[in-house]
Amino acid sequence: MKRIALVCLLLVVALVSLACTAPPTPTPSPTPPPPTAVPTKILPTPTLIPTPTVVPLSLNALKNAEYPSSYPAGKKAKLTNGVYEEKIPNSTAKISIKMFDLFATGDLNGDGAQDAAVILVSTTGGSGNFYDLYAVLNQIGNAKPIAWTLLGDRVKINTIAVQGSEIVVDLLTQGPKDAMANPTLAVTRKYKLQGDQLVSTTPVTPTPPVTPTRTRAPATPKPAATKTPPKPPLPKGSLVYHWNDAGIDRLSVLNVETGLITPYVVSGPVLDIAQNTNAPIGAWSPDNSKFAYIFAGTRDAPNILKVIEPTGNILSLYSSDAGGGLSSPTWSPDGNRIAFARLGGDRQAWSLIIVNADATKCTAGKFECLVKQVAGEQYRGGLMWSKQGLLALAFNTTGKNDVYTMYSNGEGVRNLTNNPADDTTPAWSPDGKQIAFASNRDGRSQIYVMNADGSGLRRVSQSPFADFSPTWSPDGKWIAFASTREGQTDIYMMDTNGMNVTRLTKTGGDHPNWSR
């Protein structure tokens, strides 16, 4: 037993010794060096550019914007729901400006926003309806009218569009034979915004000659830029002019020195007013003691040549047919005769007629001292007698008017302008050496002056508006004329260099005639 116990004890000791013996230590591997640190490049945080918010330009914004305008006294028109009105001082009339129904949108200045092309229609107390085109920029939904230009008086707008950055307007304007209220000439006008101006980009197509004998005159030279001439002495004398007083066509006398305006006589709707010829409807005698004028009771009624004598007595010298009319009375240098143009009642036959100023007959049973009638001639452009006895007149046969001269017996007819443009209303200077006239040869009606033989042509007025119906001051240093430059037709004067322009009337006026 003791031997067995001893064996068991030995066996246990062996097992414990085996369990406590540590395993062999492995050979350590060489430790790799730590990796070299690579510096991290820190990129700048990109700046985020905000995308601009595109705010549309609403119709309401356009109809309630403030538009620059030459018609109101403050030169601005703040529309309210598309309308602006302003009372004219010392008058029952008012200025009315309204947004036209048609407008167009598009990017006019290349900033990606939708701008607008807007038309405003303005009336200023007279018969005119003036259409102005505006470029309106979109400033985050706010309307900013930045530039404008006149499209015309009593035109008819057909369409308006923005094509690319160009504004395109299709309209009807007055042709050479159209009444102002009935335009029939279709035109397309194009404009582009350049800075703060609307610049015309309408292609100019040369006007072909009307007949083989009519050739285009060279470009009209403008006055050379020279040292400013001194202002001439202020003119004297009186101007008779036409204006419409609440529907009644009247003549008034303006004292140029004092500015005093005196009602003179009722003319009624005579031929030149009804047909908008801009030709004179009255004239002073050479000694300023008498005044000849045309009278009509109603539209299309016979036109009557009348003379107001120094006593106030009124002579009736000649009458047209009903439906016809008379135009452009002018006195002979000696004051004994009056020449004028006559349109027959059929509105086809025109003639030049001379009568005695005292209402006596030229021959037994005949009042006409001269009748000149050539088939096809239309004496619509004015007539005036010079101190040398030469008649200046404007007429046409197949196209626009030219300015002619001829002797008082109807002979020696000579074309002075020979231009496809409309040259009209010639007016002799007091010394008979120059002729002022109106022409649209440079795009709109302006005042020109030439020598009595047609040489020395020069443009005098330099206006963006229509200037017409010239008449000379008695000293020959000033020219009065009618113009639409202040939003309505009024009488102005300028010196013969086109400078010192002065507005003479403010309630409307046209057809001026200066005393001699």
Q: What CATH number labels 238-514?
A: 2.120.10.60
d(CA 150, CA 131): 6
d(CA 376, CA 382): 17
d(CA 327, CA 305): 9
d(CA 348, CA 396): 13
d(CA 444, CA 466): 6
Supply the pLDDT for residue 29: 52
Supply the pLDDT for residue 13: 47
Supply the pLDDT for residue 346: 82
Supply the pLDDT for residue 319: 95
Q: Which uninterrupted H or E stretch holds 19? A: helix 2-20
What is the four-CA torsion angle of 46, 51, 52, 58, rounded to 10 degrees? -170
Cα of 53 vs its chain's centroid, Å: 38
Supply the pLDDT for residue 11: 53
Supply the pLDDT for residue 44: 56
Positive/negative CA dihedral, 303, 304, 307, 311? negative
d(CA 35, CA 212): 100
Supply the pLDDT for residue 219: 54
CATH 2.120.10.60 residue ranges of the chain are 238-514
Helices (H), 268-336: 271-274
Supply the pLDDT for residue 339: 96
d(CA 161, CA 116): 9
Give the Cα-Cα-Cα angle 513, 266, 313 (nearest 5 degrees): 85
Cα of 493 vs its chain's centroid, Å: 19
Positive/negative CA dihedral, 192, 194, 199, 203? negative
* C-beta of residue 437 within 8 angstroms of C-beta of residue 401: no
* C-beta of residue 280 within 8 angstroms of C-beta of residue 294: no
What's the pLDDT tens digit per position in 429-455?
Answer: 999 999 999 999 988 899 999 999 999
What's the pLDDT tens digit per position in 344-374?
Answer: 988 888 899 999 999 999 887 788 888 888 7
Sequence-ordered list of residues with C-beta below 8 angstroms from that of 160, at least 6 positions apart, any chain: 102, 103, 104, 117, 119, 133, 167, 168, 169, 170
* C-beta of residue 385 within 8 angstroms of C-beta of residue 286: no
Report, as ranges of residue numbers, the positions in the chain whose pLDDT lies below 50: 7-8, 12-13, 15-16, 18-22, 38, 49, 51-52, 204-215, 225-226
Supply the pLDDT for residue 206: 40
Q: pTM of the prediction?
A: 0.59
Q: Which residue has the tokens 């009488």?
A: 491
Strands (E), 83-222: 83-87, 94-99, 104-106, 115-123, 130-139, 142-153, 156-163, 166-173, 185-194, 197-200
* C-beta of residue 471 within 8 angstroms of C-beta of residue 481: yes
d(CA 164, CA 121): 25
Supply the pLDDT for residue 54: 65
